[in-house]
Structure 1
Amino acid sequence: MDVLKLVDEIEDLIESGGSVPFTKKVMIDSDEILDIIKEIRLRLPDEIKQASWIKEEKQRILADAQNDADNILNDAEYKLEELIEGESITKIAQERAKEIIEKAQNNAKEIRLGAMEYADSLLLETQENLKEVIILLNDNRKELRGDN
């Protein structure tokens, strides 16, 4: 029997007891009431222990649930940071790659322009040398013909 049933039994005894005329007092068998009270005293510590255990278990379950929720939240934040960081690294790498390509294109353009200038200067020098050779050839031909 649990404590609540024993309390119900006390109520039944009081309700079924004989009443004293002109008062609200009831006559009941004191031995029956004392037996029920002793039984309540014996059972009460067990029920208090059980209620205390239930309360502790509830607290433990809530703490575990909170820890699980915190872990899930921390994992989600960590993964979000990884994604953001990964995106940032990718963006930085793409910008750096773009800079390197632009620099390489500018260097190639400068090299191409330098090569063209060098080739033009070589052609100009060759042209001047050829002019001198042609003049020398013309002079030699005139000399051979005696056109001096």
Structure 2
Amino acid sequence: MSAFNAEARHESERQNRLCRRYLAGRDKIEDIAVLRVFRGKKLMIVQQRALLTMRCRAQIAAAGATIVGLVSSVGTVLQTLQSGDVDAAIIDVEVDDETLVHLATLLDAMKVPFVFASAAKSNWQGYILSDDRLHLRKIADALLGSPGKSSTLH
């Protein structure tokens, strides 16, 4: 593992610890049944600006997923993918067009499911990365498939 990759992994682990502290300091966020499809998954977030809020990260963590990387370039995406620890990726639509094309090509070639998402915008019709469970469920279903009847609430 390269020094850069080790540093990126260390930063991701630090952010996950902060998230766990954030969750511990709140009224307990219950197991989020509607987001169970995220359980045990490792997600990579590709962002140009701060797309992932602490509250959104907390929702993803409460669902049982881990954010393995907050990355901003094709090179760091490739290094993260080479570690083999990525189940799916969420790409910020604000990333420049050339990088979006390179990322889509790379992720598709490596058979890593991905979606393009935006911070909550009233005029955005695509995926929205926010702490809203319905928005997160839409992303989870697109990335990993619907969890099936056994894990839905009735």
> TM-score category by the smaller chain?
under 0.3
Higher relative contact order (CA 8 A, sep 6+): 2
Say which structure is richer in strand.
2
Instruction: Tell me which protein shows more helix as a share of its residues.
Output: 1
